[in-house]
Chains A and B, each alone.
Chain A
Amino acid sequence: MPRPFRTVVGRLPQILLIAGALVLMLRTERFFTPGTLASILTQASIVGVLAIGQTFVLIGGGFDLSQGAALALVAATVGRLSQAEFGLAVCLAAALGMGLSLGAINGFFVSVVRTNPFVATLSTLLIFRGAAFIMLDGRPIPGVRVFQGVDSGFKLADAFVSYRGVVFVAATLLTWLVLRRTVFGQHVYALGGNAEAARLAGVRTTRLRTWTFALSGLASGLAAVLLLGWLRVAKSDIATGYELDSIAACVVGGVSLQGGRGSVLGAAAGCLLLQALRTQITMSGFPEEYRTFVTGLVILIFAAADALARRGERT
């Protein structure tokens, strides 16, 4: 294959990402306004935070299906705590601590017991969701106001920027630094690239893998905070299917399901693109039903582009 063409194919996913964003922006005038862009950021923030957690797990060579369920269980717990009149500090600490622990349970089964990540997190998906249901007796708790602060925001150049969006952006940048610049981050890449070789190079692989899942749980806890701040209702069926949205965002952003490759910036961009696509479809007056269809199509196109880009590599 001639070289310039090769280079184009090798960069296909990124090119598609940029082209997609451009097309979306130019399609309507209304779309390309600070207001619309800021609202996309806000709407993407919850799945975005989950995608950040998912990025740790995927790069480490795992898979986390329990994110949405963990989010619901954390939300149910916070609902109960707020009923008992606990304050913001306690609720926040509980949400994050519980998310971390739920993730650590996944990590324990995957890395210490060596259960397959798909099976382990599929089981905990059912367990967490069921526990949330039991904890709430099947009845939603309305008026959970502890986290309502994150639903506000500030004005920036005519646009309303929510704190939710800020949390998402900040978490993305922090994660990017951690993955690229810390020993922990580089070890996660090595773990996903070749776990046995990493272990024999002196990486504590069991502990490390547990941590990747724990961080995914922490992300679920944080996402629960953002979602409760917005919905203000704790229900057992909230965030259903969010884990698939977060995996989809990672795929669109070029994070490899084989492990070892990808960037959290890609995952965040993928999440924004998918959200922009949904907004665009709604704004252009297509019926709702098209959203799911088009989203699926876009994911498939990105996955195919990624596979094509890797064809020339020695593996």
Chain B
Amino acid sequence: MSAEAAPALVALRGASKSFSGARALKAVDLDLRRGEIHALCGENGAGKSTLIRILGGATRPDSGTIAIDGLPVRLPDPAAALRRGIAVIHQELALVDDLTVAENLALGDEPRRGPWIRRRAMVESARAKLGELGFAIDPRAPLGSLPIGARQQVEIARALRRDVRLLVLDEPTAALSRAEAGRLFDVLRDLRARGIAILYVSHHLDEVFALSDRITVLRDGARIGSWPASETTPGEVVARMVGQAVDVRDRPARRADGPAKLRIEGLRGGALRGLDLEVAAGEVVGLTGLAGAGHEDLASFLFGDARPTAGRVLWDGRPFRPRHPAEAARLGVAMVPADRRGQGLIPSQGVLENLTIASYADLARGGWIRRGAQKALARQWSERFEVASAGLSQKVLTLSGGNQQKVLLARWAARDPDLFVLNEPTRGIDVKTREAIHRWIDGLAEAGRCVLLITSDAQEMTRLADRCLILRGGEVARTLEPPALTEHAVVAAVVEG
């Protein structure tokens, strides 16, 4: 690449931003060049999303300038950024669930004849756009009915509908399966070849190195530096992000060969078509598959969120049929949902309430919450999970994405349940914390808890699972156990069955 010689398309100089006294960004400079894929790396809370929001006009910096083609510009709102060819896909998706895919794609820019929307043209152009990007999505489907990965593809397609010169993606692959991510990378490479500048954030360094031309590292809101990807290594990048080296452990040798604590027999309902599964105390069982293969349904059934149509679940030998999540929680099940924003967090409340909501029953005496105990519990677990917040009363959505995820994990960890259903537990979490969470899961297994791990991250699967079930069409297609349980085997099994 002759990227060095190209002049900057977008140049950011001295961008600073504080939130009620806490400095999220400190005088950051950034150059983005045509035809270059630029990766932004940093720990949770390093300021990546804030930087991106500034570029997209969603947040105004306290100071600093932005120049496009050398001319200073002001980006007071997202519409202004869009007019100048900067499109941003934020960490949390921004689509309308009640509209169809085609309507979402056309929103604000509908094909029309006079006052009438040309529905056929709208659907056709949506189909063409999705096809061009290789996304297999029915344009007539209501958005809310799609799995989160497909919803994100819609958002990407939407960002690309107009003339884009700089495409910014905040953790775009966090919700995608490996196959979907691969397709996205092809799209991004294709856009790069057309001269579009791309800035993206990812916590997956293997991906960063496979895809990007240049890497910028942020730490504590300051830019540590930028390097061509070919002249640095993942180890160096991690050390710059964290300020120290992180040692990633291998899977500890666990042997849980006691009797099955959780036994599932012939379970049907949703996408499931007769699933059998046993989990012993102290065992981590992984579940994965393409979207809609049935692993999400299993999580719903175990947590009482939906009811199976046939088959049975035995817990300690006794039938286990929770009627609703409250009952499942009382019986000792915890579920961390994959959709953090929609199903996990209560946006109007602070860290304190979001962290302790599942523990109110234990914290209360006669219906009255003991404040001291509540605060102590929240403090203890936010320290244990290293939640970076300005205080327990900080509104949960103002935390960085990774810290929001930590609050959700801490919410259930604080209850110490017997069965954990963890749905993408490290989505959006940085390398260092990811390792800490993996060790926490090791600890759960050591303490004799049952863990069902649903993850589309093959590395995480091999690091944690004692057994990995690959689902396809509602049935177990393959079961992998060490030593056959390798990243390559998981990926291959998901794709081929």
Contacts and interface: CB of A to CB of B under 8 A. Distances in A.
B331 to A, nearest CB: 11
Interface in A183-223: 183-184, 186-187, 189-190, 192-194, 196-204
Nearest to B333: A202
Contact of A199 (B325, B368, B371): B325
A195 to B, nearest CB: 9
Interface string B105-144: 0000000000000000000000000000000000000000
Given A183-B360, A189-B349, A315 B337 contact: no
A152 interface: no
A155 interface: no
A192 B330 CA distance: 23
Contacts, number: 92
Given A196-B342, A197-B343, A200-B337, A186 B369 contact: yes
A187 B348 contact: no
B346 A182 contact: no
A198 B357 contact: yes
Contact of A183 (B303, B364, B397): B364
Contacts of A261: 348
Contacts of B361: 183
How extensive is the interface on chain A, given as a class? 20 to 34
B344 A200 contact: yes
Nearest to B360: A183
Given A182-B364, A182-B368, A190-B349, A203 B326 contact: yes
Interface in B326-341: 326, 328-330, 335, 337
B76 to A, nearest CB: 12
Contact of B344 (A189, A192, A197, A203): A197
A200 B369 contact: no
A313 B397 CA distance: 9
B358 interface: yes
Contact of B348 (A1, A184, A192, A202): A192
B93 to A, nearest CB: 14
B371 A204 contact: no
B60 to A, nearest CB: 8
B353 interface: yes
B369 A181 contact: yes
A182 B371 CA distance: 10
Interface in B159-201: none
B367 interface: yes
A315 B395 CA distance: 10
Contacts of B18: 3
A1 B398 CA distance: 18
Given A197-B342, A200-B344, A202-B326, A184 B353 contact: no
19 contacts: A3-B18, A182-B368, A182-B369, A183-B361, A184-B367, A187-B360, A189-B348, A190-B346, A196-B342, A197-B343, A198-B357, A201-B358, A202-B326, A202-B328, A202-B329, A202-B358, A203-B357, A256-B348, A313-B395
Interface of A: 1, 3, 181-184, 186-187, 189-190, 192-194, 196-204, 256, 259-261, 313-315
Given A189-B353, A201-B325, 14 more contacts: A181-B368, A181-B369, A183-B364, A192-B348, A196-B342, A198-B357, A200-B335, A201-B329, A201-B346, A202-B325, A202-B329, A203-B326, A313-B395, A314-B397
